[in-house]
Amino acid sequence: MSELDYQTVQDYLVSLVPPREAELLEMEAYAEKNDFPIIGPACGYYCYQLARMVNAKSVFELGSGYGYSTAWFAKALVETGGGVVHHTVWDEELSNRARRHLVKMGFADLVQFHMAEAVETLRQTDGPFDIIFNDIDKHAYPESLPVIKEKLRSGGLLIIDNMLWHGRIFDKKDVSPATMGVHEFTKQITSDSDWIVSLTPMRDGMIVAYKR
């Protein structure tokens, strides 16, 4: 068997995702047109699945963009009987765009919007949480882990994006703050016995870690 092409695999994974709501499709189209980084349908559906599996009621997102991942988590919470997803982003325009999308999808009552620095907001928000999703600037990943560990319940899930970092983690000459942040975070969490960790090579690499 010849080596599989990366894009062929990713396209196949996306093809397995069930039909999506029109608003999600619109959000995906906006991301493609404007080259905006979202987790995409395969990872979004994976987040939805994980939230359903742990019967999540409380989700905290560190870095939420314009609400694409938020919508997937909110979709799961509707089906688990309700709860709250914390949407955090610095940018006012992104926060407003997220609100518009989530209102159209009927999720507004499930989402608490924070326009502030994500890790500090997590620190100040009462937990514990069933799921914490991390997609902040990569250089800040290592410093976020102690706060995440404190705020996530035992038996909860940490989902963290961009852990393959567009292949840069394999370039030994790349010592940029972002790449080193991904390396350091990966080392920290995989060497801590309080976590059970797997990295799924879906899209840009997604770690799912179970807190013992």
Q: Is the pLDDT of residue 22 over 50?
A: yes
pLDDT score of 82 more than 90: yes
Question: What is the structure's pLDDT at 1?
Answer: 46
pLDDT tens per residue, range 39-76 = 999 999 999 999 999 999 999 999 999 999 999 999 99
Three-class SS of 80-125: CCCCEEEEECCCHHHHHHHHHHHHHCCCHHHEEEECCCHHHHHHHC
pLDDT in tens, 172-205: 999 999 999 999 999 999 999 999 999 999 999 9
Question: 131 with 159: CB under 8 angstroms?
Answer: yes
* Average pLDDT taken over every residue of the chain: 96
| The pLDDT value given to residue 54 | 97
Model pLDDT, residue 89: 95
Q: What is the pLDDT of residue 95?
A: 96
- 211 φ/ψ angles, rounded to the nearest 5 degrees: -85, 120
| Confidence (pLDDT) at 5 | 85
Percentage of the chain modeled with pLDDT above 70: 99
Residue 18 preceded by cis peptide, ω within 30: no
Measure the CA–CA gap between 37 and 28, rounded to whole angstroms. Answer: 10
State the pLDDT confidence band at 123, using cuts at 50, 70 and 90: very high
Q: What is the pLDDT of residue 2?
A: 58
**Three-class SS state of 35:** coil
